[in-house]
Amino acid sequence: MNYKMIRYIIGMILMAESAFMVLPMLVSVFYKEYDVLMPFVYSIFAAFATSLVFGLKKPKNDLVFARESYIAVAGGWIVVSIFGAMPFYLSGAIPSVIDAVFETVSGFTTTGATVLAAVEDLPKGILFWRAFTHWIGGMGIIMFLLMLTQFSEGHSLYIMRAEVPGPTVGKIAPKSTSNAIILYAIYAGLTVIETVLLLFGGIGVFDAVTTAMSTAGTGGFSVRDAGIAAYESAYIEWVVAIFMLVFGVNFNLYYLMLLRRFKIAFKSEEFRVFIAIVAICTVLMGANSAAYYGDFGVAIRKAFFQTTATISTTGFGGVEFMNWPAFSHSIILLLLFMGACAGSTAGGLKLSRIIMTFKMLRKESHRLAHPHEVTTIKFEGKIVDKETRSFIMVYMSAFLAILAVSSIAVMMMGHDYETAFTAVLSCLNNVGPALGEVGHGGVYNMFSGIEKLFLSLLMLTGRLEIFPMLILFMPSTWRRH
């Protein structure tokens, strides 16, 4: 195993993080929050100094294969979460180390679970860093690194595969560096568009920028205690809801649209299923909650907001869904499982996996009834090979096993079934809000320190799609072969 290259990659990740922290530090300077300035300075220095120790010089042997990539990615995400927690802790915004780490992990993994019941009195620099962790984590720290650092093409694909969500890694350009640049350009462009539209809604620049970053990363951290509801604006709700939908779509489709290949983009099977699910769930929950609002139009708006917030795993607060009938809660629970499209910034199982799983079930049922007939499974017009099908089934099995065992573990720590199951599901799927004690605010204060660390591990496991974290902690990974 190339340990030097693993250290080098983690060092580069830390160097990128130290650069990212400069921006919230400048926000603190702009708002004259000088008591927050030094915590950022110390955090930047600690991250940068450590990055020099880890990755001052690129090793001569820069070969990176699957095992090194998974270890570097998983290790890198853990390390940046620890260093990213420093501004929260040193500034006193979150006086507990474990709580600060939980908040940071939730930010980078774009989960949106929080330990902060009230945020409006926090310094602007801290709130900006909190939202910025969503924006960084949405597209991925490694993706940013690939945009700046030259690796050999075959080996950079291993690194990309370890972080990019979805059953397969789709390339839209011949080189991984070009892929990263294109995806980040689309990501940044959509963030800017949302920011401008939010400004038209009459909210301040700071609120518009932080809300757009949280939406783009499909994280859901707000700078208002009441979430999006604090703005008391139907326009703001519609803009945020539409962009939660936008960031739940595979970014490769946006690239096709930029190339004016609209017919190919709109023929995407996953995209059509995604839109259909959003439409159906919106109508069903709107009709089910209409009596609560006394106005069908308002009910549809709230239902659309909650549908996009849940399926995109953004989880913005702003809808009183805990007061809705049980039928709506059942739909929300199903959406908690799904997630949006592969290749988006959303968490969850991803619709592509769910679609292919149903197709595999149908194929096997057909094969049992017609044992001599040869059938294939197609997705997005292409035949799904045996390796991909096998990997999807292993992934789904691993996900359900982790969900079951983790839910039982949290219940054994003294929580009711609804709280334990939905909190574990929400963290593993990087959603944030849950049912039971957590509620729509996504505040996890009722959990102990050990439980928060455990849930943080689940958030990282879900963001990296299970296997990088499993590989990191498997004893066989570290044995010499």
Model confidence over 259-270: pLDDT tens digits?
A: 888 888 888 999
Please give the share of the chain, as a percent, with pLDDT higher than 90. Answer: 53
- Predicted local distance difference test score (pLDDT) of residue 56: 72
Closest listed residue to residue 19, CA positions, set 199, 107, 144: 144
The CB-based long-range contact list for 433-438 (8 Å cut-off, 24+ gap) reads: 433/112, 433/220, 433/309, 433/310, 433/315, 433/317, 434/336, 435/322, 435/329, 435/332, 435/333, 438/113
The confidence band for 154, taking pLDDT boundaries of 50, 70 and 90, is very low
Q: Is the pLDDT of residue 149 over 60?
A: no
Given CA atoms 366, 369, 373, 374 in this order, what sign does their dihedral have?
Answer: positive
The confidence band for 171, taking pLDDT boundaries of 50, 70 and 90, is very low
Mapping DSSP onto H, E and C, the string for 326-360 reads HHHHHHHHHHHHHCCCCCCCCCCCCHHHHHHHHHH
Closest listed residue to residue 127, CA positions, set 199, 231, 32, 210: 210
Return the SS3 of 310.
Answer: helix
Q: Is the pLDDT of residue 59 over 80?
A: no
Count of CA atoms in the C-beta half-sphere (13 A) of 159? 34
| 138 vs 216: CA distance, rounded Å | 7
The confidence band for 242, taking pLDDT boundaries of 50, 70 and 90, is very high
Which helix (H) or strand (E) is 382 found in, with range?
A: strand 382-383
- Predicted local distance difference test score (pLDDT) of residue 144: 62
The confidence band for 153, taking pLDDT boundaries of 50, 70 and 90, is very low
| 206 vs 220: CA distance, rounded Å | 15
Which helix (H) or strand (E) is 378 found in, with range?
A: strand 378-379
Q: What is the mean pLDDT of residues 162-172?
A: 51
- Predicted local distance difference test score (pLDDT) of residue 73: 85
As given in the structure block, the two tokens for residue 256 are 């096709």
Return the SS3 of 94.
Answer: coil
Q: Is the pLDDT of residue 124 over 60?
A: yes
Return the SS3 of 70.
Answer: helix
Q: What is the mean pLDDT of residues 8-29?
A: 93
- Pick the range with the lowest mean pLDDT from 150-154, 232-236, 337-341: 150-154
Model confidence over 270-318: pLDDT tens digits?
A: 999 999 999 999 999 999 999 999 899 999 999 999 999 999 999 887 7
- Predicted local distance difference test score (pLDDT) of residue 135: 94
Model confidence over 351-385: pLDDT tens digits?
A: 999 999 999 998 888 788 888 777 788 888 888 88
Q: What is the mean pLDDT of residues 126-151?
A: 78
The confidence band for 173, taking pLDDT boundaries of 50, 70 and 90, is very low
| 65 vs 357: CA distance, rounded Å | 29
Burial class (CB in 10 A: 0-12, 13-18, 19+), 145: buried
Model confidence over 417-464: pLDDT tens digits?
A: 989 999 999 999 998 888 888 876 678 999 999 999 999 999 999 998
- Predicted local distance difference test score (pLDDT) of residue 164: 55
Model confidence over 188-208: pLDDT tens digits?
A: 999 999 999 999 999 999 999
Look up the pTM and report it. 0.90
Per the prediction, the chain carries an average pLDDT of 87
- Predicted local distance difference test score (pLDDT) of residue 57: 75
Closest listed residue to residue 113, CA positions, set 461, 445, 400, 463: 445
